[in-house]
Structure 1
Amino acid sequence: MNNSEPSAVSLPLSQRAQRLSAPGTSSMRSKANALKEAGINVVNFAAGELSFDACPVMKAAATDALATARNRYTPPIGLPQLRHALAQQVTQRCGVNYAADEIAVTAGAKQALYNAAMVLLNPGDEVIVAVPYWETFPTQIQLAGGVPVYVDTAADDYRLTCAAVQKALTPRTRMIVINTPNNPTGTVYQREELLGIARLAFAHRLWVVFDECYRKLVRAPHEHHNIVSLFAPLKHQTVLVDSFSKSHAVTGWRVGYACAPAPVIAAMHNLQGHTTSNPSSLSQYAALGSLMADAPHFTRQVNAFLDQQLLAACTCLGHVDGIRCAPPEGAFYLFIDVSRKLGGRYLGSVIRDVDHLADLLLTEAHIAVVPGSGCGDGNSIRISYAVEREALIEGLTRFARFMSEIVTH
């Protein structure tokens, strides 16, 4: 008689899980952190966050909430008073009326975008996505059963145009995703572009997901334009997505929101009630505090810092041959075309592709960048210039030195 234990069986993951991969930003962060733990001085250009401490108004509101034990469950899509305050603020800045039942508070903008995909898309629905894109956009669309339809924007200064959208339309088109100021390129969509797309979406009865998480971070003389503000009839077909993470330096606090027609918000309520439930109560009270007191001084301070950082970055990169950048008009990214360096040799080794280049920059130059392959652009890398000034100069000096050592034909 055999009394041995049966062998363990390895059961497969779902097909959905097998298609998922980690975001390139988090993968590069992990690699950079591993080198740091080994004692290597790595400059991390991969993180999409400010080097600032959190907005003081939000810190004070969070501290007050903690001191007064406001740490219980809230409604799944946020505190009623926060939703009301957000509705007032969006109404004021857009010039179009929003009510509290048209607002959902979420665990960061990423959850707002996921909710939108899940409640608006059916299997097979097509969604127009500009390339390069923030890599979460197509993944969430696919998780919802949708089909991303990619539109290359490199020839149009990295902006989606009305003509390009028109060309990409099919009978299955259900949605357009617009992100301005843009991650990863840093471009800001111009008024005429947005107005044309708005009218086209309205005429074809398409949903528009309008991600404006970097709206407060724009380099002069450029301006951010809200698509609903430009064309009010589109409100009933639009999901506005915003966040406190970038502008208030609270990326880890996970508080964002969606503005959409009341039936869409009601569906998001049901979905969020079965997934995460409410965002952090402390983060919600912090967000409410910033809306009640506002913090224009903090935003001005951040933008003044980013203006100087961009100037320093462009000065450093001006000495690097064989690269060019997308127009750096907003957010805090430089999207650098390195295609002329791909296929070149570094210390005798051929640089196979942009992922190989990113790995070499990390292991040899000790700087972490985001390869554009994860954004649909295999010719570019993304760096954040929101790091501390000393790190910016040091990192870009290393980058320039490394790129000068690549032998091209």
Structure 2
Amino acid sequence: MNNSEPSAVSLPLSQRAQRLSAPGTSSMRSKANALKEAGVNVVNFAAGELSFDACPIMKAAAADALATARNRYTPPIGLPQLRHALAQQVTQRCAVNYAADEIAVTAGAKQALYNAAMVLLNPGDEVIVAVPYWETFPTQIQLAGGVPVYVDTAADDYRLTCAAVQKALTPRTRMIVINTPNNPTGTVYQREELLGIARLAFAHRLWVVFDECYRKLVRAPHEHHNIVSLFAPLKHQTVLVDSFSKSHAVTGWRVGYACAPAPVIAAMHNLQGHTTSNPSSLSQYAALGSLMADAPHFTRQINAFLDQQLLAACTCLGYVDGIRCAPPEGAFYLFIDVSRKLGGRYLGTVIRDVDHLADLLLTEAHIAVVPGSGCGDGNSIRISYAVEREALVEGLTRFARFMSEIVAH
């Protein structure tokens, strides 16, 4: 009688899972952390977060919530008082009325975007996405059964124009995604650009997902414009997505929100009730605290820091031949065109593509960057300049040295 254990059988993952890959930012961050754990001094330009401590008001509110044992479940889409406060704030800044039943609090903006895709898209629906894009946009669209329709914006200063949207429209178009200030390019859409797209979307009865997570981080003289505030009739076709992560330096706290018509929010409630349920209760109370006692000085402090960081970064990059980089108008990224370096040789090794370049920058120069291939642009890399000043200068010095050693093909 054979009592041996049966051999293990490797069961397949779903087709959906097999199509998924890790985000480029997470992948590069993991590689950088592995080198750090091995004792290597790595400068991490890949992480999309500020090198700031969290907003003091949010810290105090979270500590108070913890001390008073506010650690129970909340409704799936957020504390009623937080939704009410957010509705008031959005109403005030957009000059368009929003009610609490038009607000969903989510575990970061990423969940708000996912919810929007899942409750608004049917299989085969087309979604217009500007290239370069934040790589989560097309992935979530595909998870919902939608089809991303990519529009290259390089020739238009990385702006999705009304003419380009018109050209991309088909009978299957269901949605347009707009991200301003933009990740990865730093582009801030101008008033007339948004107004034109708003009118087009309204006329064609399209949904607009408007991601404005970096709205407080804009370099002067540029200004952020909200698409609903520019064209109020579009409110009933728009999902506004925002977050506390970037503006309050709390990326790990995972608290964002969506503003949309009440039936959309009700559908998000049902979906979120079966996925994460409520976002962290402590993070919600922290967000509520920041709304009840807003700290504009904290935002000014962040923007003053970013102004100085950008100046230092542009100074360092000015010494690097063979690259192109337009100064960003918002957010905190540099999107650098390195196409002239691709195909060149570094110490005899041919640089095959931008992913290979990013790997070499990490292993040889010990700096982590995000290859633009994950953003739909195989000619560029993304660097965050929101790191500490010493790391910024050291990392860009290494970058300049590495790039100078590439022999043109």
TM class, shorter-length? over 0.9
CA distances 1:348-375 after superposition (whole Å, capped 9, x unpaired):
1100000000000000000000000000
Provide the C-alpha distance between the structure 2 equivalents of 1:408 and 1:302, rounded to a whole number of angstroms.
Answer: 39
Offset, 1:3: 2.5
CA distances 1:192-240 after superposition (whole Å, capped 9, x unpaired):
1100000000000000000000000000000000000000000000000
Offset, 1:90: 0.1
Cα RMSD (Å): 0.5
Offset, 1:387: 0.1
CA distances 1:380-406 after superposition (whole Å, capped 9, x unpaired):
000000000000000000000000000
SS state at 2:85 partner: helix
Provide the C-alpha distance between the structure 2 equivalents of 1:326 and 1:183, rounded to a whole number of angstroms.
Answer: 14
Q: Does 1:73 align with 2:73?
A: yes
Provide the C-alpha distance between the structure 1 equivalents of 2:47 and 2:325, rounded to a whole number of angstroms.
Answer: 19
Matched-pair contact (CA < 8 Å) for 1:130–1:151 = yes
Matched-pair contact (CA < 8 Å) for 1:55–1:250 = yes
Provide the C-alpha distance between the structure 2 equivalents of 1:139 and 1:180, rounded to a whole number of angstroms.
Answer: 19
Offset, 1:4: 2.0
SS state at 2:406 partner: coil
SS state at 1:276 partner: coil
**Partner residue, 2:150:** 150
Offset, 1:315: 0.4
Provide the C-alpha distance between the structure 2 equivalents of 1:168 and 1:354, rounded to a whole number of angstroms.
Answer: 27
**Partner residue, 1:25:** 25
SS state at 1:10 partner: coil
Provide the C-alpha distance between the structure 2 equivalents of 1:324 and 1:158, rounded to a whole number of angstroms.
Answer: 14
Q: Does 1:328 align with 2:328?
A: yes
Matched-pair contact (CA < 8 Å) for 1:207–1:237 = yes
CA distances 1:250-296 after superposition (whole Å, capped 9, x unpaired):
00000000000000000000000000000000000000000000010
Matched-pair contact (CA < 8 Å) for 1:158–1:326 = no
Gaps spanning 5+ residues in structure 2: where?
none
**Partner residue, 2:189:** 189
Provide the C-alpha distance between the structure 1 equivalents of 2:119 and 2:36, rounded to a whole number of angstroms.
Answer: 41
Q: Does 1:3 align with 2:6?
A: no
SS state at 2:215 partner: coil
CA distances 1:108-132 after superposition (whole Å, capped 9, x unpaired):
0000000000000000000000000
Provide the C-alpha distance between the structure 2 equivalents of 1:3 and 1:117, rounded to a whole number of angstroms.
Answer: 51
CA distances 1:279-318 after superposition (whole Å, capped 9, x unpaired):
0000000000000000101000000000000000000001
CA distances 1:71-93 after superposition (whole Å, capped 9, x unpaired):
00000000000000000000000
Provide the C-alpha distance between the structure 1 equivalents of 2:162 and 2:322, rounded to a whole number of angstroms.
Answer: 31
Provide the C-alpha distance between the structure 1 equivalents of 2:4 and 2:219, rounded to a whole number of angstroms.
Answer: 69
**Partner residue, 2:38:** 38
Provide the C-alpha distance between the structure 1 equivalents of 2:164 and 2:151, rounded to a whole number of angstroms.
Answer: 7
**Partner residue, 1:206:** 206
Q: Does 1:310 align with 2:310?
A: yes
Matched-pair contact (CA < 8 Å) for 1:185–1:334 = yes
Greater mean alpha carbon deviation, residues 90-99 or residues 319-328: 319-328
Matched-pair contact (CA < 8 Å) for 1:210–1:238 = yes
Provide the C-alpha distance between the structure 1 equivalents of 2:4 and 2:366, rounded to a whole number of angstroms.
Answer: 51
**Partner residue, 2:272:** 272
SS state at 1:352 partner: coil
Offset, 1:145: 0.1
Provide the C-alpha distance between the structure 2 equivalents of 1:2 and 1:320, rounded to a whole number of angstroms.
Answer: 69
CA distances 1:155-180 after superposition (whole Å, capped 9, x unpaired):
00001000000000000000000000
SS state at 2:150 partner: strand
**TM-score when normalising by structure 1:** 1.00
CA distances 1:22-49 after superposition (whole Å, capped 9, x unpaired):
0000000000001111111000000000
Provide the C-alpha distance between the structure 2 equivalents of 1:83 and 1:327, rounded to a whole number of angstroms.
Answer: 36
Matched-pair contact (CA < 8 Å) for 1:217–1:303 = yes
Offset, 1:325: 1.4
Provide the C-alpha distance between the structure 1 equivalents of 2:23 and 2:166, rounded to a whole number of angstroms.
Answer: 30
CA distances 1:324-347 after superposition (whole Å, capped 9, x unpaired):
114400000000000000000000
Matched-pair contact (CA < 8 Å) for 1:186–1:326 = no
Q: How many residues align?
A: 409
**Partner residue, 1:356:** 356
Matched-pair contact (CA < 8 Å) for 1:159–1:189 = yes
Matched-pair contact (CA < 8 Å) for 1:210–1:240 = yes
Matched-pair contact (CA < 8 Å) for 1:238–1:260 = yes
**Partner residue, 2:180:** 180
Offset, 1:8: 1.1
Offset, 1:6: 1.4
SS state at 1:325 partner: coil
Provide the C-alpha distance between the structure 2 equivalents of 1:77 and 1:270, rounded to a whole number of angstroms.
Answer: 9
Matched-pair contact (CA < 8 Å) for 1:157–1:327 = no
Provide the C-alpha distance between the structure 2 equivalents of 1:160 and 1:345, rounded to a whole number of angstroms.
Answer: 35
Provide the C-alpha distance between the structure 1 equivalents of 2:8 and 2:355, rounded to a whole number of angstroms.
Answer: 37
Matched-pair contact (CA < 8 Å) for 1:185–1:327 = no
Change in CA separation of 1:327 and 1:127 when aligned onto 2, cut-off 3 Å: farther
Matched-pair contact (CA < 8 Å) for 1:131–1:150 = yes
Provide the C-alpha distance between the structure 2 equivalents of 1:65 and 1:4, rounded to a whole number of angstroms.
Answer: 55
Moved over 3 A (4+): none
SS state at 1:258 partner: strand
